[in-house]
Structures are given as C-alpha cells and as structure tokens.
Amino acid sequence: SWAQAVDEQEAAAESVNVNLRCYGLLSAQSLLNKLIRSNLVNTTNQVEVLQRIQTLRFNSVKSFEELRLKPQLLQGVYGMGFNRPSKIQETALPMMLAEPPQNLIAQSQSGTGKTAAFVLAMLSHVDPNNKYPQCLCVSPTYELALQTGKVIEQMGKHYPEVKLVYAIRGNKSGMKLQEQIVIGTPGTMLDWCTKFKFIDPKKIKVFVLDEADVMIATQGHQDQSIRIQRMLPKNCQMLLFSATFEESVWNFAQRIVPDPNIIKLKREEETLDTIKQYYVLCNCKEEKFQALCNIYGAITIAQAMIFCHTRKTAGWLAGELSREGHQVALLSGEMQVEQRAAVIERFRDGKEKVLVTTNVCARGIDVEQVSVVINFDLPVDKDGNPDNETYLHRIGRTGRFGKRGLAINMVDSKMSMNILNRIQEHFNKKIEKLNTDDLDEIE
C-alpha cells in the first residue's frame, strides 16, 4: 500500500542517516587517533594466532634484524626510532614477509603497530625496477590514506626508487601509473583499475585493506573492495586489518582474504584499582565551579581533564577557569578533527594544564600523563542512565602500566547522586565523599 511504501522509504532514509553518522564518527575518531598517536600502545596480553597450514610454522621475531630486511628498509625502521617489533609485529611480520606470500587477517586496537607492519611488508615486496603499480592499499577516507602515505614515506626514506601515488579523484589524466604503491579509497581505486585502466590489477602483488571496521560502516565500500579483490591474481598477497572484530567485520574479512592466517590481540582491560575516587556535593554549577577552585587551591594538580555533559557547560567552565588565571584548553564538538588534534597535542606538551571537554569529543583519546580527572557532570546515556563504560574509560587505567590516579565527581542533585550510587554499585568500588572546605584527606 501507499502508506507502507512511505514507511519503508522513511526507514530506508533513516538507515542511510545512521550509516552516515556512523561513518563520520568512526573515521573521524580513527583519524584523530592517528594524528595524536606518537607512541605504541602498551599491552601485556598475548597474541592469538591461527595459522593456515599447520605444517608451516612461523616463528615470531624479537628483533628487526631477524627479518632480513633490505638494508635501506632496516635503516628506515631504525630512523623512525623503532628498536624492536611491537607485540603484533613480532608475529605478523614473519608471516607477511614469508615466501610464498601469506595472507593475513589481523585485529588489534589502534596504536599497536599494524600500519607500520603492513607498510614494511609493501616496501619489502615491491620491485623498484618495475615501473608499474605492485601494491594497492585501500583506506576508508582520503585523510586516513594520507596518514598511511606519510608512514610509507618515512619508512621508505632511504629507498627513494620506490614511489607512491594517491588514488584521489581528479589526480590523474589518462596515463598508466609508474608508481609501485597506490594508496586511496576503494571507489577511486576501483575506477583506476577498471574505467580508466591506470592500474593493471593483474600485476598486483600485495593488496592491503586497512581499517576494515571503519570501511564497512560506509555504504558501497564493501562492494567496491570486493570488486577490486576479484580482479587481482590468485597469488596476490591479501592483508586485512581492523581495530575491532564484530561478526560483520569478520564476514567481510573472509570475503576479502582467502585462506587467511589470523592474528588477534585482545585489548588491555581498564581497571579502577589504582584510582582514588571521590565525590563532592553541590547545589548548582556555580557551586561546582567553586568546589573546583577549592580543590585547585588545596592540592597541586599537574594536569587535569574535566568532562562536561554539554558544549555549553564546557564553554562556560573554560571561560570561568581562564578568568581565574588557569591555562585552559577547550575541546569542543564543532571543531574539525585537525583542530581537535592540535588542542590535544598542545595539552600533551603541557602548554595547557587543564583540558575541558565534552564526552563525545574525548572518546578514544588517551592522555597518559593526566593524573586527575574531574567529572563536572557524571556520564549518562541518552536515557539518563549511568554510562558505566564511559566512566571507566574516562578515569580507568590499563593493566600494570597505569599510574595512580585521582577522580573527582561533582554531584549537584538527587538525580546525579542516584547516578553516582549506581556507578559505585556497578564497579563495586567505594567513591568517598570529599569536603572541599577541608581538603587534607586527598593527596
């Protein structure tokens, strides 16, 4: 019926919307992570490996020398300040560099060394004497592709014969490519292989699909990637990487990578064990601000992150704090990813001592040196229930790398007291009351 058709149309429109939102958020977060990541993420977890052929054993390596890399590449690796392979690289690199080439699906959280690993594999496999594309690398967005391109340039610094080109719209006009490595988004890459024929897919030796979880959140990327993969020769090495691994990612991965070796590295669990948690009772936001000032007057805080529920509160608080003479950084939702990265970087470098932010903005960022976290507003979900996951992520520390920390929660109503109690129950960890007129007890 007509009414049903309208319903279906609206439902379809809504699902496209959800996809768009999802796409924007995921790829932006991923880019932000890359822009601010200057170090490996530590992990104590063990790598899980599922090898394709039981008789073919790949030993993990503890040094880059054991990999017998080209000297130019070893120089590039050391030039980047890498002393030894990361957890995931120890296992993944011997597989990726083996002869014959091994296919691989690898999953580990962002910052664990996946990009560096597949860049090294691509650079190792190209023949610089052949002036045509031999490696294709697809990323979900152009900005993400650029970040990977930068790693290729850094690691290949002493190997200038190997050239790189970005598959972006309007970049090329009617010429076969001479560059050995092509990196870009699936749509353009597909066009370059089919419509424009800048790339001969039959000559590709390595195909990399990065950020598979972000990739599948975009309509069309999945099909385009599969269409590219179908054109590649049988002996082409297929590599797929993802930070997370739900069912949908796994299904996609298996369509892209035949006969895969599989490597997984579990995320480090966050805990509240080394955190002292307090709450402060107030009546309104002005009182909360006063309490905050008292805390600052009483204890030495090297750097603090303060979380607010809305942009408006965050903006107001940042203003009040600067008026008090604090050097404040404000991270806000309307900022571009690059601007956000710049704010976080300045804060990391200690240029500002306080970072005021909303929850959405702060998702996925870690600032390791921060020892004090203040929940100016408690984290709640859209239904007003306690958001325990966000609470843990804001103040928790991972494994034994975690330093001791201090968390202070501002309570300003019966409702927020209720939220606090539920958070306390959920984690089964006492949150102590703090009297901000008498602050001897903390520190």
In contact, 44 and 400? CB cutoff 8 Å = yes
Q: Which is nearer to ligand ADP, 144 or 372 (CB)?
A: 144
| Shortest reach from residue 134's CB to ligand ADP, in Å | 21
Instruction: Tell whether residue 196 is a contact of ligand ADP (CB under 6 A).
Output: no
Q: Which stretch binds ligand ADP (CB under 6 A): 33-41, 374-382, 414-422, 427-435?
A: 33-41
How far is CA 168 from its chain centroid?
Answer: 23
> Which residue among 67, 76, 85, 272 contacts ligand ADP (CB under 6 A)?
85
> Which residue among 60, 74, 75, 82 contacts ligand ADP (CB under 6 A)?
82
- Find the farthest-apart pair of alpha carbons in the chain and give their distance in angstroms, rounded: 74
> Which residue among 29, 43, 86, 409 contacts ligand ADP (CB under 6 A)?
86
In contact, 180 and 113? CB cutoff 8 Å = no
Strand partners, 410: 280
Q: 350: phi > 0 → left, psi -120 to 50 → alpha, else beta; which?
A: left
Q: Which stretch binds ligand ADP (CB under 6 A): 20-28, 85-93, 338-346, 392-400?
A: 85-93
Q: 42: phi > 0 → left, psi -120 to 50 → alpha, else beta; which?
A: beta
Q: How far apart are CA 386 and CA 394, in angstroms?
A: 13
Burial track 190-211 (b if 16+ CB lie within 10 A, e otherwise): bbbbeeeebbebeebbbbbbbb
Q: How far apart are CA 135 and CA 228, in angstroms?
A: 12
| Shortest reach from residue 270's CB to ligand ADP, in Å | 18
Instruction: Tell whether residue 112 is a contact of ligand ADP (CB under 6 A).
Output: yes
| Shortest reach from residue 81's CB to ligand ADP, in Å | 6
| Sites for ligand ADP among residues 343-382 (CB under 6 A) | none
Q: How far apart are CA 207 and CA 257, in angstroms?
A: 10
Q: Which stretch binds ligand ADP (CB under 6 A): 37-45, 160-168, 192-200, 247-255?
A: 37-45
Instruction: Tell whether residue 110 is a contact of ligand ADP (CB under 6 A).
Output: yes
| Shortest reach from residue 39's CB to ligand ADP, in Å | 6
| Shortest reach from residue 83's CB to ligand ADP, in Å | 6
Instruction: Tell whether residue 43 is a contact of ligand ADP (CB under 6 A).
Output: no
Among 366, 362, 384, residue whose Cα is nearest residue 308: 362
| Sites for ligand ADP among residues 113-152 (CB under 6 A) | 113-116
Residues that bind ligand ADP (CB under 6 A): 37-40, 80, 82, 85-86, 89, 110-116
